[in-house]
Amino acid sequence: MSLSSKMVSRLMMLLLILLVSKSNANQFKSDSMCSITREVLCVKQVLEIITITVKITARTISEVEKNILSSDINIDATYLVHLLLEAHDAMSFYYNSIDDILNVSSVFSSNDQLKQIQDNLRDKIICEYRSVLNVYSHEWTPINHIKRLEFALTTYPSTPSFTHNYQSIFVVQILNEWMKRIDSVIIKLRTENFLIVKAS
């Protein structure tokens, strides 16, 4: 066997070892959520697939919401209390999440707006939910017993402002979706005159 053939053979063997090692590493990282972590040749292409899937999923979510909200739901006091508790805990969750962001630093320009959002969540939503729950003699989860968003620690260098900004935008975008859903549910309750009947 010539020297060049031996070199090619050794390179092929080394490449095979590397591929097997990488495959084992992928299997080790697997949590059975995905059958295998495939090799990515083009990150842009993968992100485009995710973008398309996100749009399709968003349309499906809208259809589910439309079907549920347009159906004839027999809303009684038990169901209403359940809705109130779900929304109360969700708003408390985001209240705590914003609190964590604000506690990191007070020098960022968006903090005043985040504080305003947090104040509104507390005074105009969470506390109002508690007032209604009190009408039904139902307890709620204390704010200190409710979790908050836990962001993964970054393994790459990033400035405090970058971390603050991406955490803030993540929270407010999800919170914005919750605002739309709460509004839809309240409109549904008003349409069925449920709130008027209970208030009289």
By CB neighbour count within 10 A (0-12 exposed, 13-18 middle, 19+ buried), where does 115 fall?
middle
Q: Read off the DSSP letter of residue 143.
A: G
Token code pair at residue 57: 């999923």
Q: Is the pLDDT of residue 23 over 50?
A: no
In the chain, domain spans: 1-39, 40-71, 73-200
Q: What pLDDT band is residue 38 in, cutting at 50, 70 and 90?
A: low
Q: What angle do CA 133, 116, 105 make, to 5 degrees?
A: 120
Taking the model in full, what pTM does it have? 0.63
Looking at the chain, the whole-number percentage of residues with pLDDT higher than 70 is 68
Please give the helix or strand (H or E) that residue 43 lies within, else none.
Answer: helix 43-70
- For 83-101, give one letter per residue: b (16+ CB within 10 A) or e: bbbebbbbbbbbbbbbeeb
Give tens-digit pLDDT for 64-74: 877 766 665 55
